[in-house]
Amino acid sequence: MAPLTMARLGRLARRLGTSRVVDAAVPVLATPYVRSRQGTNIVVSAHYSMQLGINFDDDEAAARHYFHHGWKLGVVPTPFIDAPAVRFSRAASLLLRNQLARIARGGEPRTRWLGTPSRLLGSFDVSEHLDDSGGWVAGLTRRARRDPRSVRLTVGLRELNYEEYIAGCRDLVAASRTALSSAMIDERFYRSQVGGARPVSREAALDDYLANGELDGRALNPFFEAEWYSVADRSQGHRGRPINLFLDFVARGELGQASPHFWGTKYLDSEPVASDGGSILAHFLENAHRDSLTPSSAGVRSITRGQAEALVRSRVRDYHDSLGRLRAHGPVRGHHTSAPRRAQATETCVVFVDEQHLRAASVIQEFAASCAQQSLSGLRVAVIETDDDTRTAQLDELVEASPFIDFVPRNPTDTVGAVVAEILRDAQPDGWTFWTPTQRWRPEFLSSAVAALAEQPGVSAAAVVSPTTPQPWLRSDDALWLDDLDGAGVVLRGTGSRAVLPDPSLDRGIVWHALIGLSASGTAAVLPADLVSRSRQGEDPDLEMRAGANAARSRHLVDFDQDPVGEVTVVIPTYQDWAMTLGAVRHVLQTTGDGVDVIVVDNGSRRPVATILAACFASDVRVTVRRMDRNTDFALGSNVGATTKPARCVVFLNNDTAVQEGWLEPLTGALSEGAGAVQPLLLYGDRTIQTAGTIFLGGFSMPRHLLPAVHPIDLDPAIDDYPFSALTAACLAMEWADVARLRGFDPHYVNGMEDVDLCLRLRADGRPLAVRTSSRVVHFESRSPGRMDFQLPNRARFARRWRRMITALDDRAIFDSGPVELRDVVWERLAGSPLWEPRLVLARRDHLAAVVDESAPCLRWAIKTSATGDASGDVWGDTFFASALADALRRYGQEVVVDRASAHVRDSGGWDDVTLTLRGLVPFTPQPGATNLLWVISHPDLVTRQELESGYDRIYSAGEIWAQHVRDRWGVDVHTMLQATDTSKFNLEARGGAAHEVLFVGRTRGVSRPIVSDAIDAGAQLAVFGDDGWDRFIEPRYLKGTGIDNDDLPGAYAGATFVLNDHWRDMAEFGFFSNRLFDAAATGARVISDPVPGMTELFEGQVQSYESVDELRALLDPASDRWPDDSERDRLARSVASEHSFDARARRLLNDALAMRGRNG
């Protein structure tokens, strides 16, 4: 009875209105809920409270509420199951409620169980609980309550135990209540992201967002982007990802950066009334005029509220429209159905096979059987040869024995499409098709298809339509973005006015390209019979599909026959990554002028990627964000970008790069001097070289990067004059005329070798290729998902095309001059690769030591830091410290490189005379043969006796107490050398910066730093700059920014009445003085710090410490007699600059290193 009744109810609901009908039916259809312990194991009260914004006294109260009233809201009351239909159908909600009610009574549902394991369960094994009745839900809840740490839930990439999840839910109940009662849930906007389905209630919309929407990239309103908030909110580095980012934003007072065009703190500054008892974001949504400027996030230029909202809605609409283009819908349209019949004896068909598919014995056997069993008498099979030595004797024997199978010769430069076109012109067959290892043909397939073509002269193709060959192109008038157009079960007409001839430029995707055209303009004979099936045998079909799709789509997406309209276009393709791309675009805009346009090609990423990028650059006409419906990979994506707005100069740029100041002019200059293509010096994030060009080593081998992991000081200036054969497209500049003439990158390559292929085509035309080492671009080398999946097939294609040229290319002469010489080449081979892999053994040429004075020869120093070799490492204090020390050593005539943690161990490490480890978070193993110095500047608690005794020639400590402690406890000789300041920046001339009464610059470290809390308690007019969650600990009025640029810090310190400073506990205990003390004191600032033994004496009163809030309050008076007067502070600042500069430290280090080297011979 129940299934029938529910089905009738669903039909009535659709006709009369869901809510009204279901509500009326409840007394009849609702399964009674009887209070039971099982019932409380069905409804998880903390989770249910978060969904509704209601606090329940206990589990029974929550269960009673759900079964009596809450189910009507369309929510799923447990985190362990998901039932999406419930949120959009009152009938489904009633069905789930009844199923859960029966389970609560110890029974089983009478209808098919609606619930499935939720994605929160992630990798948690529920198999021991899972059954079709739904009873496992109660069992799993019982286990979670009995042993909460044994049940793991996955929130984003963070794993929580059940206890942690429940606590997180309770923390978000009030936030949920705020959201549900405000304009922050835009139901119409949310409907546009779920196919137009209407949530049962606002609570259902929120529940869908909590369960799936946020992780799937949906948004509850146009001004909250979960991904943006997650990246902007650095506090998650300390506390982990919250259960839900939107509710977390609300729970934390809505002060964060919610989206590119909404920053709660900034809006509150302009509209203080927004915090009066309500939601800040809701106040904006309800009150901000369309023409008012947005309170945009850091680094984003404001636009009007109307522009921002329209942009997001448009991008959301476009994204969901694109989802419709990925799938064919409805029945076969506008085509003719034919019954299978036998072809006439005179009717012919040519089957083409690419020889590269016929390598495995099982594939050859299947191919032979498919062809031999065909009943078509006029059959010819053409095996298109490949130019390599992989043919098997089995294939030779098959062709020799068959009267209708022949090899067709193919030159390395010939495409498969060109070969096929020539055969079709000569043979004029009635039909033609391709065989691939993924197809299984019935004996009557070709005969029936050719007969259908003869029977219906107005069609261009015959297609088998069956469950395994659905032919989606027959169900769409635009098949451009459909998948699975590989031509399985399709025979194309080969002669006459309706003939379909191949594009001679294509190697793959030949039939795919034809079907895209036929879906829009052609007609086909449909064979509704099971004549063809599919398998996964043979060469990787994913590559065949991917490369074929790109090559076929290229002809519809790219137009190279255009005239350039601008000066420079920078093309940046991206896939699933807006954060790195945002940085890449910003660097381009910051280092170039109005004559440079940037085209970002979003290669079918999730919805937020293009939305965020378009929003960030909405105010800049130089930036265009173009989204592809699917991932078209690097080659086609780059071609699309170049042809979107062609300019005289086109620069192809990876999205994981940061161009440096002055990068563009050397590239455009080289082009104007006649270079066909030019690249900059590409650096890793740790600033060692990624590549100074691409070189060949002779033989049938892979090209290699020049000087990888070598420091730029080892470059030969003559590199700029060397005629390279290939470059890398991580940053590659070309003239539009050359890009258009060569038709850009070859889309048959799938993320690999396309740049070298393009360069060799350019070289074959006689165009020189150049590197400009004065142009610098940092390449962080992130890995897009699937980036290396097709490495070997790409190499195989490259080898077939260029085998004759690359064996003749040998660039070893590039090492004939300069600091680096080539000692040897070690040849290796990657399994499955047709090409040898050369590994270069490099050495540094002997050179005469430059003499600064009689006592200071030039040594090569390697300063080792703990900073990471990525973009975040650029702003580490260790990075600035090492840079200032390196500059000081260079002023003494030394040669210095700085190695971040990722470059501690490198092949060129043996070239270093001295290593100096600035010990922070990461240790370094002393370099054999070098003079090894260790300077412990922070985190002394991480340093072990074993490390100190591992081979260092001298050890320094920035804290005297720790140095004495180590000497006494371990008997290790440690010398005190305090931290220092860069007097070229931090000096008395720095005055004139922004004036703040009490200044603190720093992150929270995940806690409310005591000196900040104490200053607030003391009534200080405080200005805090930090980016990792200060809004959790202090009122918005104190937070003035996310940070101060290092170049602006001296002025900020000098301009402040007081500068606050504190220390890690272990550093204070061991007498390590913060580097900020030296920086601020050198500008003449008054500095207040937590106490460190010896600090006040060292700085002679310019730095003061306190023990209580009252003492701090007294110190926050410039007239206090504890502060030196202005002239005395100037004297003290000059003293700090003299005694504690990096020049002073460099002088001591150099003298010590020379003494030790002299002592050691």
* Contact partners, residue 512, CB within 8 Å, separation at least 6: 485, 486, 487, 548, 549, 551, 552
Question: With 60 as the cut, is the pLDDT of residue 1062 above it?
Answer: yes
On whether the CB atoms of residues 591 and 664 are closer than 8 A, the answer is yes
Q: pLDDT tens for residues 640-657?
A: 999 999 999 999 999 999
Phi/psi at 332 (5° precision): -60, 130
The span from the CA of 768 to the CA of 671, in Å, is 10
The span from the CA of 670 to the CA of 735, in Å, is 11
Tokens of 391: 């043919």
Query: Any idea which residue has 């922004």 for tokens?
Result: 994
Average pLDDT of the segment spanning 991-996: 76
CA distances, 116 to each of 78, 98, 583, 1063 (Å): 11, 16, 40, 51
CA distances, 992 to each of 984, 1086, 1136 (Å): 16, 15, 20
pLDDT of residue 135: 72
Question: With 90 as the cut, is the pLDDT of residue 523 above it?
Answer: no
* pLDDT tier for residue 36 given thresholds of 50, 70 and 90: low
For the whole model, what pTM was predicted? 0.91
Strand partners, 933: 916, 954
pLDDT of residue 834: 83
* pLDDT tier for residue 13 given thresholds of 50, 70 and 90: very low
Instruction: Report the topology of domain 336-555.
Output: Spore Coat Polysaccharide Biosynthesis Protein SpsA; Chain A (3.90.550)
pLDDT of residue 571: 99
Query: Any idea which residue has 């009662």 for tokens?
Result: 181
Question: With 60 as the cut, is the pLDDT of residue 606 above it?
Answer: yes
Average pLDDT of the segment spanning 527-550: 79
Strands 623-628 and 704-705 turn out to be: unpaired
Q: pLDDT tens for residues 1047-1056?
A: 999 999 999 9
Handedness of CA 967, 970, 971, 973 (dihedral sign): negative
Q: pLDDT tens for residues 563-603?
A: 999 999 999 999 999 999 999 999 999 999 999 999 999 99
Question: With 90 as the cut, is the pLDDT of residue 66 above it?
Answer: yes
pLDDT of residue 536: 63
* pLDDT tier for residue 615 given thresholds of 50, 70 and 90: very high
**Distance from the Cα of residue 184 to its chain's centroid:** 28
Tokens of 717: 């200036």
What ranges do the domains of the chain cover?
Answer: 2-221, 336-555, 561-840, 860-976, 988-1140
Q: What is the dihedral of CA 886, 891, 896, 902, to 10 degrees?
A: 10
Question: With 90 as the cut, is the pLDDT of residue 762 above it?
Answer: yes
Instruction: Report the topology of domain 860-976.
Output: Rossmann fold (3.40.50)
* pLDDT tier for residue 132 given thresholds of 50, 70 and 90: low
Which residue has better confidence, 111 or 754? 754
In 920-1016, the DSSP E strands lie at 931-936, 954-957, 975-976, 998-1001
pLDDT of residue 155: 85
pLDDT of residue 1160: 66
Question: With 70 as the cut, is the pLDDT of residue 290 above it?
Answer: yes
Q: pLDDT tens for residues 432-455?
A: 999 998 899 999 999 999 999 999
CA distances, 1061 to each of 340, 999, 1001, 1035, 1043 (Å): 86, 9, 8, 20, 15
* Contact partners, residue 497, CB within 8 Å, separation at least 6: none
Question: Around 612, how many Cα atoms within 13 Å sit in the side-chain half-sphere?
Answer: 32
Average pLDDT of the segment spanning 1074-1102: 96
Question: With 80 as the cut, is the pLDDT of residue 539 above it?
Answer: no
Top CATH class of 561-840 equals: alpha beta
On whether the CB atoms of residues 347 and 451 are closer than 8 A, the answer is yes
Which residue has better confidence, 103 or 1073? 1073
DSSP labels for 139-207? HHHHHHHHSGGGSEEEETTEEEEHHHHHHHHHHTHHHHHHHHTSTT--HHHHHTTTTTPPPSSHHHHHH
What mean pLDDT value characterizes the chain? 90
Q: Give percent of the chain with pLDDT exceeding 70.
A: 92
The span from the CA of 171 to the CA of 184, in Å, is 19
What interhelical angle do 607-616 and 579-591 show, nearest 10? 20
Q: Does domain 988-1140 have CATH number 3.40.50.2000?
A: yes
DSSP, collapsed to helix, strand or coil, labels residue 915 as strand
Select from 407, 310, 393 the least CA-distant residue to 354.
407
Q: Would 860-976 and 988-1140 be classified into the same CATH topology? A: yes
Q: pLDDT tens for residues 1095-1120?
A: 999 999 999 999 999 999 999 999 99
Cβ–Cβ contacts within 10 Å for residue 308, how many?
26
Cβ–Cβ contacts within 10 Å for residue 219, how many?
26
Question: With 70 as the cut, is the pLDDT of residue 1161 above it?
Answer: no
